[in-house]
A = this chain, B = another copy of it.
Amino acid sequence: MDNTQPRMRWWGWGEDGNDGPIKPGAKKMLTKNCGWPDGVNNPPVELGAVQLPAAGLPDDARTRFEELLGAEFVRDDHATRVSHAAGRSLPDLLRLRSADLPFAPDVVLYPASHAEVDALLAICAQERIAVVPFGGGTSVVAGIDAFRPGFRSCVCISLARLDQILDIDEESLTATVQAGVFGPDLEEKLQASGFTLGHFPQSFEFSTVGGWVATRSAGQQSTGYGRIDDNVFGLRCSTPSGPVELRSTPATAAGPNPRQVFVGSEGTLGIITQATLRIKRLPETTLPDAWFFPDFHSGAAALREIEQSGLRPDIARLSDLNETAFGLAQLGSDIQRKGLLAFLRARGVTTPCMLVLRYDGRKADAKSRRAGGRAIARKHQGVTMGGAPETQWEKHRFSTPYLRDQLMTEGVIVETMETAAPWSRIESLHDTIKADIEKAMADRGTPALVLCHISHLYTAGCSLYYTVFAQQQVGQEMEQWKTLKTAAGNAMVDNGGTITHHHAAGADHAPWLPRETGELWLRMLRAAKAEVDPEGIMNPGKLMNGPSAL
């Protein structure tokens, strides 16, 4: 496969042919909560109509790039620039579809080796050219937007050709892979040898190992398989001041941990070219389970007890009332849904909150953990329907992002946000976030439908994930987004949550960093960055150097 060809359609999520209709039940729910913008048909513009900023690459820099990589791998045709100009946040999608792209790289570079990446960064530092590292381009925090504050030129360095799985150490259960490997390619190779990384973010199909490491990503199975930060041992990172190579060590006490500084560095320190990751043997079995609770509170209490009892579910996801209702309306058939609701009503559950779980491992062990989990769910008034709802959820888990594109065509905007906090704060935090979003959006005259789920369990806490729908305010979408983002971000950070559990900081979350970690830590980070990137060319305007106000 030629990885330099974009895998995603340029204007939205994933590949063509996956857009399903909005089902009547879901539409009804949206109408009730947000109103429905009747008769809107607002498809994306044509690729040719997209306006890009003028490219400003100096000729001598281009010559040096071409000498290094070959002209074929220095591309600035319209399609290439557009497909590397934006991630997949709501503002990104709004801009892409409206054809007004204020940020785009001048050129996209495709190095094929560590040495080529090193050399590119050295050239860019000499020429003072801003650099945006690019994995799959699925960022939802403006992480790959081609900001160029103070720079005349900005290049995108794609990791697409660093796509090799270099080594599987079956004895140490680690795999050494290049940064540009896409999720499906990695899992295919690992699984063929009987292993898995178990890292399945919802963006799995279109995101890369380097992107995961750079953003401190968490997959949907992180409860069992760990976040990417738990699973990175060795690491290689090219910086403008030269490469940093961290050997693969299971643990060390040799001072502050450099891995945990490069992990999550979002391209601001350098380009991760290679990582050594902890892998696991493919589980003997995976056992699905699903429950419906009478309310969010009892479901959350069950989840907490399951996790803290050491039953280690590998997947665990509890939807609130709204998300449960929306999911049933959008994903299943109407008959299924009505049957289920009647079944639950008969058992006293009138406002169901769905919990899906999966237990992976050796058969006997997974069974006994599931049995333990079931006893706890029952104790907390859960009603079970066996494993089918989990299987159903898994089947659709990579398809829901397509709905966002479809809704935007019909005049409804969708944004997602997430946080994490200790268990003792989770419920009050959730109440505040939901109420603050609803109030802020209602105050704008575009009331929101807010869905939420708990996922990614830890003994000390969990994450909360929000999906928010509202009618699009044509011409004021960006203000609308800022209203939403500000309300949610403030509610999170002012009430003991983090501004992001797995979406990273990028530019969009940067305004909350001082409040979350304090200004002193950001100064430390900036100082550390200045050592590896004295010219400040690496992904300017993001993370520690992001906008100080949204």
Contacting A421 at CB < 8 Å: which of B242, B250, B309?
B250
Q: Enumerate chain B residues within 8 angstroms of A420, measured Cβ to Cβ.
A: 249-252
- B527 x A250 contact (CB < 8 A): no
Q: Enumerate chain B residues within 8 angstroms of A250, measured Cβ to Cβ.
A: 420-422, 458, 460-462
A-to-B contact residues, CB < 8 Å: 169, 171-174, 215-218, 227, 229, 233, 239, 241-242, 244-266, 278, 280-281, 304, 308-310, 361-362, 364-365, 368, 420-425, 456, 458-463, 496-505, 509, 512-513, 516-518, 520-521, 523-532, 543-544
- A255 x B459 contact (CB < 8 A): no
Copies held by the complex: 2
Closest to A311 in B: B365
Q: Enumerate chain B residues within 8 angstroms of A256, measured Cβ to Cβ.
A: 260-265, 525
Q: Enumerate chain B residues within 8 angstroms of A502, measured Cβ to Cβ.
A: 251, 253
- B520 x A241 contact (CB < 8 A): yes
Given contacts A172-B461, A242-B520, contact A216 B253 (CB under 8 A): yes
Q: Enumerate chain B residues within 8 angstroms of A499, measured Cβ to Cβ.
A: 252, 254
- B255 x A544 contact (CB < 8 A): yes
- For the complex, what is the distance from the CA of A418 to the CA of B517, rounded to whole Å? 34
Q: Enumerate chain B residues within 8 angstroms of A422, measured Cβ to Cβ.
A: 169, 171-172, 174, 233, 248-250
- B255 x A525 contact (CB < 8 A): yes
Q: How far is the CB of A373 from chain B (nearest CB, A)?
A: 13
- B257 x A263 contact (CB < 8 A): yes
- For the complex, what is the distance from the CA of A205 to the CA of B420, rounded to whole Å? 35
- B361 x A310 contact (CB < 8 A): yes
Q: How far is the CB of A201 from chain B (nearest CB, A)?
A: 11
Residue from A169, A171, A249, A425 whose CB has the most chain B CB atoms within 10 Å: A249
- B246 x A504 contact (CB < 8 A): no
- For the complex, what is the distance from the CA of A217 to the CA of B169, rounded to whole Å? 27
Q: Enumerate chain B residues within 8 angstroms of A361, measured Cβ to Cβ.
A: 310
- For the complex, what is the distance from the CA of A372 to the CA of B244, rounded to whole Å? 41
Contacting A516 at CB < 8 Å: which of B247, B259, B262, B512?
B247
